[in-house]
Amino acid sequence: MNIAIGGRQPLALNISTATTQKPSRSLLSMHAHRSRHLARLFFILLAPVISSAHAGILQHGKVQLICHRTANRDMPENTLESLALAARMGCNIVEIDIRKTADGQLVLNHDDFLERLTGGMGSVELTSYDELQLLDTGAWMGQRFTGMHIPRFEEAVQIAREQGIGLYLDIKTKGIAPRLLEILEREGMLERVVFGGEWEDVPALYPNANHDAVAYIHPGCNAAQVAALQRRGKFVVANFSANAYEMNLDAMREAVAAGVDALNVDYPRLGADAVGRPVETRLAELARMASAGSVPARLAAIRELSHFTGFPTQEVFTRLLRDPDDRISRAAAVALVIARPATPTQVYIDAASAPEKTARRNAVWALGISGAPATSLLLSLLHDNDPDVLKEALLALSRCPGQAPAGSLLPFLASDVPSVRAAAALALARHQPQIAATAVMDLLRHDEEQASREHDGQLHSGNHQLTPEQIRPIVEAYREQMKLIQALASLPPEDALPPLASQAFRPVADYSQLTAVVAGYQLWDRIAASPALAMQALRSTNVEVADRAEWVLVKAGTSVLPQLRQALPSSDPASRARIIRILGWQGDRKALPLLHKLQESDPQNKLLLAWAIQKIEVLHPWTN
């Protein structure tokens, strides 16, 4: 962390030369040179660092922890996860580095090189934010951190506000003060930050920025020297970052004993121990809260404990996995699944044979959600007496690799429990797709026919007010049908398209009508293989079916346009209007000659043709 004096480079001074006056540029240069040869005590004078308005950040009375570049020795630096972990380990102020991307977004990044932290190459400042989001910024530090991304500055500010910490802003790009201050003010954090780096344009916009002096000292300073600095109004920070003392716990304790106001650390866990607020004490308290008390309080404790990445918490969650309350057990399972590094699969395998049904149910869920190779175990659990365990085992089979025979899965399509039927359909689609293409569609048709009969019966009864008892099976059937559509969608393309199209383009007025809508969405990325399926539906006398077919073709992309252009001249009146609209919405430039020609021969659609032509020309101004 480099904290500047009035926007200049940091100054390292021997204690005998320390002064509260601003040195000149030449003096700055001279002492910066001398500092490289000093062997013992150094400290950095900070000119404006904090005003009285910032009293909530630098507090006297207890030794504070300042974390350099988020928890960079525990998790990938300058990520939201690393920032939050630093706060959870007890840091009061966390430094982040800020740069501006090519498209003007403020993001967290230290050295501007994509090579070190991502799989990309080049400069952060010459790359758009959207492109940065395509790059993983966690895997460079280990496989366990795969999936992290470079965050926006405002996301970091929100995390800091939620965690109740201050931020040291090491500004790397010049001229970003207006945008930066706007974000801080909007998030209510303007008085909870210290500015550093390229912050020269901040004071003109925010005069209260950085007014009080802070002295950064190297390890080895004694109590008398610390007291002397404090009498001169300095907030004294012992620096344990980027030097040979980063992991020297004894030196940290000596600095605390000498009376410093804060430790600046790269290892927050060590710093927390040195200042007498060990992280382990917090972990023990959270474990106690997770084990007893009200369910909401226990759930909150489990969730908080799960975010202490890299700490030995697996045993706590494994024990809670066997809790008789399913909510507690599931929360523990979630904590085990999101752990970094990944929880060993054996933990779930052992719990899947536990006497507690909550442990079996949620261990099986964990096996499935993590895609563990546990097909044999899951097949054995299909004989479990608990329907929820059975459902989770079938659902896990739909997510896990391996081979499950059709004979083990097909019987469950006839279960009396809708959720079991739905999970079985998903598992069958995963392991036996050709059989599932027929079996799942048959089940879906059966459910829809039953929904139609019940709907007609309700209309004929004259009683249009449903009771909760009548609503419950309708809701269960709806949830099952959503999963049946997902099962069909998971089939290979050639097997998925026909049943999805038949679902999307069927006229329906009963409780199952949403399956048609969802099936239509699933056609967006599939209909290009056979546009005729949707083009036929354009002629439907059912307006909802024709509307759905039209929008499917609008969303299908350019690959369907040649067939639409070919069909337009000979189309019937109803479908012609819809095809014209599709060509217009898609901005089909190649259709312009045909549309102009039709203006002369189709007076009935003259206005619509003019609309489509205008839409296309607006989307392609360079062709005019």
Last residue of a domain, one of 195, 214, 244: 195
Whether 473 maps to a domain, the answer reads no
Same domain? For 286 and 185 the reply is no
**Dihedral of CA 201/204/209/213: which sign?**
positive
| Mean pLDDT over the full length of the chain | 90
Domain at 184, CATH number: 3.20.20.190
HSE value, Cβ hemisphere, 13 Å, CA-based, for 321:
29
Number of helices and strands in the chain (H, E): 30, 10
* Residue 553, token pair as written in the block: 């073709």
Measured CA to CA in angstroms, residue 124 lies from 69, 102, 117, 128, 401 at distances of: 17, 8, 11, 8, 38
Q: What is the pTM of this model?
A: 0.87
* Residue 300, token pair as written in the block: 């909150």
Do you know the residue count of the chain? 624
pLDDT of amino acid 439: 97
Confidence of residue 212 (pLDDT cuts 50, 70, 90): low
Whether 212 maps to a domain, the answer reads no
Domain that holds residue 532: 528-623
Whether 277 maps to a domain, the answer reads no
> pLDDT (tens digit, 9 = 90+) per residue, 325-337?
999 999 999 999 9
Whether 366 maps to a domain, the answer reads yes
Domain at 339, CATH number: 1.25.10.10
Confidence of residue 41 (pLDDT cuts 50, 70, 90): very low
- Structural domains in the chain (count): 3
Last residue of a domain, one of 160, 195, 230: 195
Whether 45 maps to a domain, the answer reads no
CB under 8 Å to 407, separation ≥6 — which residues? none
Q: What spatial distance separates the first Cα and last Cα of the chain, rounded to whole Å? A: 56
pLDDT of amino acid 319: 98
* Helix (H) or strand (E) segment spanning residue 238: strand 235-240
Looking at residues 527-541, what average pLDDT do you find? Answer: 97
pLDDT of amino acid 623: 62
Is the predicted pLDDT of residue 19 greater than 60, yes or no? Answer: no
For 113, the 3-state DSSP assignment is strand
pLDDT of amino acid 85: 98
Q: How far apart are CA 287 and CA 289, in angstroms?
A: 5
Q: How far apart are CA 530 and CA 494, in angstroms?
A: 10
Confidence of residue 455 (pLDDT cuts 50, 70, 90): confident
> What does DSSP assign to residue 209?
S
> pLDDT (tens digit, 9 = 90+) per residue, 238-260?
999 999 999 999 999 999 999 99
CB under 8 Å to 309, separation ≥6 — which residues? 74, 75, 81, 85, 339, 340
CB under 8 Å to 583, separation ≥6 — which residues? 561, 564, 565, 568, 591, 595, 612, 616
Question: Cα-atom radius of gyration of the chain, to the nearest Å?
Answer: 32
* Residue 398, token pair as written in the block: 């739909």
> pLDDT (tens digit, 9 = 90+) per residue, 283-329?
999 999 999 999 999 999 999 999 999 999 999 999 999 999 999 99
Whether 458 maps to a domain, the answer reads no
Looking at residues 501-525, what average pLDDT do you find? Answer: 93
Whether 265 maps to a domain, the answer reads no
Whether 491 maps to a domain, the answer reads no
Confidence of residue 7 (pLDDT cuts 50, 70, 90): very low
Q: What are phi and psi of 217, to 5 degrees?
A: -120, 155
Last residue of a domain, one of 195, 222, 245: 195
Q: How far apart are CA 305 and CA 548, in angstroms?
A: 47
